[in-house]
Amino acid sequence: MGKTVNVSGFPPEVNAMEVRQHFESITGSGTIHAIRLKKTKHGEKFYALVQFAQETHANKLLTQSTEVNTPYRLNFHEWKYEIDSKDKASMEHYIDGLLMHFGFLATPEKFKYLYSVGCSFGSGNQNLHFSAHLSEDYIGRISWHLSPEKDSKLLLIQLKGGPKIYENQNQHVDPEYEKLNFCRGGFDNYRFYINFSNRSVICHCLKVSP
């Protein structure tokens, strides 16, 4: 379970990478999950919300805060909210390089392809331009099949409706945003793009290498 620390007292010229380097010199490389730098109410200085992947790392920073080597005085205290709410345990649980075929069942044993697209399956990949989210209410049946070439498995998913499509806003991040923000794996900044959930989609087939 992660934990977030609020650190105030940063000058305006600081950036998220500097904050990360300062704190990971205490807690260890790769221990910070996300950082957001924000202006104080008076706008003279910045404060940082620093989310750690593990609570023990956040506690280590709080107990050893005097060891942080900076030319400015910082104040540390716990923050009860997360910056990035993705499940950290599932961030690396995805399969890349898959091929998805859309079509319909011509017979109970024969799938007819209409078109195919490359895709990734699962969670954690924040570098995708589009993300498809499918409600379990639209899933009719799921079954495994062996491809005709017998060199891969086919996951057949029969649908009652289509997915909602979201566009990844990380594809259009400006330099100022990158300066003030950091997230391991990228922030989950998907914006609603189009809704196919009320359209009739028969089924699609996900090709998985053995």
Domain boundaries, the chain: 3-83, 91-208
User: Which distant-in-sequence residues (6+ apart) come within 8 Å of 204 by Cβ?
Assistant: 100, 101, 102, 103, 157, 159
pLDDT at residue 96 in the model: 60
Supply the mean pLDDT for the chain.
76
pLDDT at residue 97 in the model: 67
pLDDT at residue 5 in the model: 96
Spatial separation of the C-alpha atoms in residues 99 and 48, rounded to whole Å: 41
pTM for the structure as a whole = 0.53
Spatial separation of the C-alpha atoms in residues 187 and 173, rounded to whole Å: 11
Spatial separation of the C-alpha atoms in residues 65 and 67, rounded to whole Å: 5
3-83: CATH class: alpha beta
CB–CB of 65/78 below 8 Å?
no
Chain segment 68-102, per-residue pLDDT in tens: 888 889 999 999 888 876 544 444 455 666 777 77
Q: Mark out the alpha helices in the chain (DSSP H runs).
A: 16-27, 55-63, 175-180
pLDDT at residue 28 in the model: 92
In the chain, which stretches have pLDDT less than 50? Answer: 87-92, 192, 200-202, 206-210
pLDDT at residue 92 in the model: 46
- What crossing angle do the helices spanning 55-63 and 16-27 adopt, rounded to 10°? 90
Residue 48: how many other CB atoms lie within 10 Å: 24
pLDDT at residue 17 in the model: 93
pLDDT at residue 43 in the model: 75
